[in-house]
Chain A
Amino acid sequence: MALVVLGIVITCCYTEVQSVIQPYTATVHKTIPITLSVKLHNNGNPYKMVVAVLLPNGWAGSKNLTMDYTSDQGDKGTYVLMPSTTTEPSTKGLYNWPTSLLKTFGVVNNYISDMQWVVFQSDKEYTFNKEITVTVNMQLTVGADGINTNCMLAYFIGESQDGLHAIDGYIDNPHPYEYYQMYPAPPDPLKPNDPLGKIGCMVVTGGEGLEDFCHPQLATADPFKSQTDDFITVDFNGYLGQTLLFNQPVVYLHATAFDEAGNKYIVNTQTDNNKMNPVATNKYERTIWPRQFFGVPKGVSLKTMEYTFTDAGGNKVTGLNGTPTPFQYVFRCGE
């Protein structure tokens, strides 16, 4: 008896960002438009579409980002902020959406961690069992903290039922993404050969200082916004260039802090209290509590700090761009 086997092909389920159109220059406190075009294919289970954007913390995205949608099926509506208490389904109640996206994707291509995923979901549930195209229109007010910024945005498209569900095989070739897609900002189509353009870096000006997420920094202080009674982690990334401290066996942190009255607090010797810890070849790190590190009296707040790195003898002073000019840090409260 011939046995006839019927092959059942299950066609379902993919997410595919078709395009992202965003500006690559902006001015602090101004609003920019961002448009995403996304193809979705579902299997008829109802869900809300989830859209998230990776933004600097200082931009306070939950207050400064709005978005709405239309589809080729005639749907239209707005996205609403995902409640912070709503857990991302794949974590089984452990993490909310912003935390889960940060743990999964980090800050993508950016070099500073001072960022967050701002998560929205569609105002209505949708049920469809075919391919549809959704257009997401965003309005983003950049630079709420008034600080000049170079940063690379990133986008996430998913849905409320499955979240970061692992791929389970029901993908339609050639669509590689099933339940969700994370899409870093594409290169600037107008400046594909520009050093910032080709990495999709957005340059925001018109403010003060600079928080540069787009380039590795010779030194960083994390959190970017902190105060006298925070723990601040200072990194010296000596691997980035041939500074005076390249391949030095020991590196120390020299720093001078200024309080609001203009008093100075100086750390400029080489002891265990300011020695940096090697965490990789030519990369050093130390976490300080400024009040303790500088001996600041209770009730006094620091305003700024300038710092350099040096060798055991205190002679190879290394600051901005490898020169003796100190790095600057402003103590501030963020958004």
Chain B
Amino acid sequence: MKIFNKLNCLCAVLLILAWASCKVEKAKIVSESSKDITGTWQIIRAVRNGTDITNAFGVDLTPFTIQFKGNSYTISNRVPFIVDTLGTYSLDDPQIPASITFNPVGAKAVASSFYYPIVSGARNIQLTFSANADCNANQYIYTLRQVNQK
């Protein structure tokens, strides 16, 4: 009986010690990271007015690349695109961008919605635009992926 009472007291003391050692974890506020699109990107999907033309006979988008570096971009192997020459660019919000504005050299600035999902472990960029300045007759949606990403 005495041994039982001593065990009870020991358990109670251990419980109190365990409770006292618990610390309340303060919730950490994690801020959204800035989105960095530096690198060379290629087109993996092209949709025109809702029709997928990525592999349409006569269309070859594979040589095209756009390289983002600092606040500048350059284009290689031009295809119908939101811009046709190099220039600068900016995102409306570096942390949660919803649009990107291109400022091509010698031409008017033009903006596109900017969708930046993670697909199969890698970032895609999705741009929506008209390929001809001053005419919104046809809508293109291009999905870009960084070169060397599978």
Contact = CB atoms under 8 A, between A and B. Distances in A.
Nearest to B55: A287
A87 B50 CA distance: 16
Contacts of A171: none
Contact of A277 (B51, B57, B84, B135): B57
Main secondary structure of the interface of A (DSSP, over half): loop
A184 B122 CA distance: 45
Interface residues of A, number: 23
Interface in A99-143: 99, 102, 113
A230 to B, nearest CB: 6
Nearest to A224: B137
Given A277-B58, A287-B59, A223 B49 contact: yes
A227 interface: yes
A286 interface: yes
Nearest to A293: B58
Nearest to B106: A299
Main secondary structure of the interface of B (DSSP, over half): loop
B132 interface: yes
Interface in A285-334: 285-289, 298, 332-334
A227 B84 contact: no
A225 interface: yes
Interface in B94-150: 131-132, 134-138
B79 interface: yes
Interface of B: 46, 48-51, 53, 56-59, 79-80, 84, 131-132, 134-138
Interface of A: 99, 102, 113, 223, 225-231, 233, 277, 285-289, 298, 332-335
